[in-house]
Each structure stands twice: as structure tokens, then as C-alpha cells.
Amino acid sequence: MAGMTSECPEFAATRGLHPVLSDRFSPLDFDAGSEVSDAEVDTLLDAARSAPSAGNSQPWSFVVARRDDAVHRRVLPYLASSSAGWAGRAGLLVVHLCHLFVEDTPDWPYSEFSHYDVGQAAAYMTVQALALGLSVRQFRAFDRDGLAREFDVPDHWEVATMSAYGIAGHGIGESLPGSRSRRSRADITWARAGVATTRE
């Protein structure tokens, strides 16, 4: 992977931050000639399975679409115009589903932490993908209601977000300007003994 950008000077100075995290970026495009193998897909799903969740509720499920397979052809029409080009070239699209309510109840939460936990599962998949040498871009530019209808997602589940996996079509230096800028440690720390924060 390419080196770190000057937009994140703290990344370069931080000891202990794993390279897959310091070098991570969200691709603007993917190499349409690369593939994500079935074995890699299984590993990504196992990464999601290993994520923690409140009460071990595991409120996640996934629509898995490898480029040009039958599921992929069903997902593509629901991508927004802003994402259809680059996301369609990714080797793999994964739609994240969130278990919101107990079945046959209108407002009884399956878990009040479902969204948080699905986010953790997606993050685990992201880190595992980076360890496999893949790039990942998480996005929301698609028709959630349309995908829910297409895959018969019941009302007590929600189509949440999507991730595109594959080999980036460019290097880290060609990322969207400003996309790797980060708030400082002081700014993200609400309170910490012996350390000045922006709220003090």
C-alpha cells in the first residue's frame, strides 16, 4: 500500500497504529479486472461473525454480490447514479441488513444497539479485507427500499448500508481531496485525566 498523506500528520507520528489502518482510504474507483474469490468472501463473513454485539444478539445479515453473478445483477439496478460506475466495477458488493424489531411486533426493539453492532460487523469486515490486500468503500448511495423489495427483506429488518470491496483503481494519493483529514486527538477526547482537550 502507498504511504500516508500529509493530511493526517498524526498518523505518521503515531506509534502502534496498524498499517492497514494508517494506510486505509476509500477508493474513487476499482480495478474491474480483479476479483474477490469465494474463499475471501467466506473470510469476510467470518470476520463479521466474530464481531461483538450486545447480548450476543448478532443483529446482522448480508446480501453478498460478487461481480457478474446472479445476486450482483439484482443489486446493480438499485445503485444511485453517483455510485453505479465505481461500485459496479468492484469485485464484491455487500449489503448490510440490520435486525431492528422482534418479528410481528410494531416497535419492540430486537436490540437497542442493533445499528451500532451492524457497524461493528462492517468494521470487522473492513479490517479483514484490508488484511487480505483488498480496498473497501462504504456507502449509502443506493435505493434502500428498492433493495428491500428485491430481496424480500421483512419489515422488522432494515437495509442499512453497503460496502464495495476489490482492488483500488488508483493509489492513496489520488483520493478525494480532504477525505483523509481527521480531527485531532484533543478534539475527539471529551475528557481524559492529565490531557488537555478542546473542551477545557
| Structural domain of 121 | 23-170+180-188
**pLDDT score of 165:** 98
- pLDDT, tens digit, 9 for 90 and up, residues 56-115: 999 999 999 999 999 999 999 999 999 999 999 999 999 999 999 988 887 888 999 999
d(CA 96, CA 44): 13
Look at residue 115 in the predicted model and tell me its pLDDT. Answer: 96
Domain for residue 128, yes or no?
yes
Residue 68's CATH number: 3.40.109.10
Mean model confidence pLDDT for the chain: 89
175 pLDDT band, cuts 50/70/90, is: low
- pLDDT value of position 3: 31
The reply to whether 133 falls in a domain is: yes
Report the pLDDT value the prediction gives residue 49, as an integer from 0 to 100: 98
Residue 134 lies in a domain: yes
SS3 134: coil
* pLDDT mean over 147-155: 97
Radius of gyration of the chain (CA): 18
C-alpha to C-alpha distance for 164 and 32, rounded to whole angstroms? 12
In a domain, 175, yes or no: no
How many domains is the chain built from? 1
Is 31 part of any domain? yes
The reported pLDDT for the residue numbered 2 is 33
Q: Are 147 and 71 in contact (CB under 8 A)?
A: no
In a domain, 7, yes or no: no
Q: Is residue 89 situated within a structural domain?
A: yes
CA-to-CA dists, residue 108 to 29, 32, 117, 123, angstroms: 40, 43, 17, 26
Cα separation, 91 vs 69, in Å, equals: 10
Question: Cell digits for 104?
Answer: 410481528
User: Is the pLDDT reported for residue 55 higher than 50?
Assistant: yes
Q: Comparing 179 with 31, which gets the higher pLDDT?
A: 31
Q: Confidence band (pLDDT; 50, 70, 90) for 12?
A: low
Highest mean pLDDT among 5-19, 98-112, 132-146, 165-179: 132-146
Residue 194 lies in a domain: no
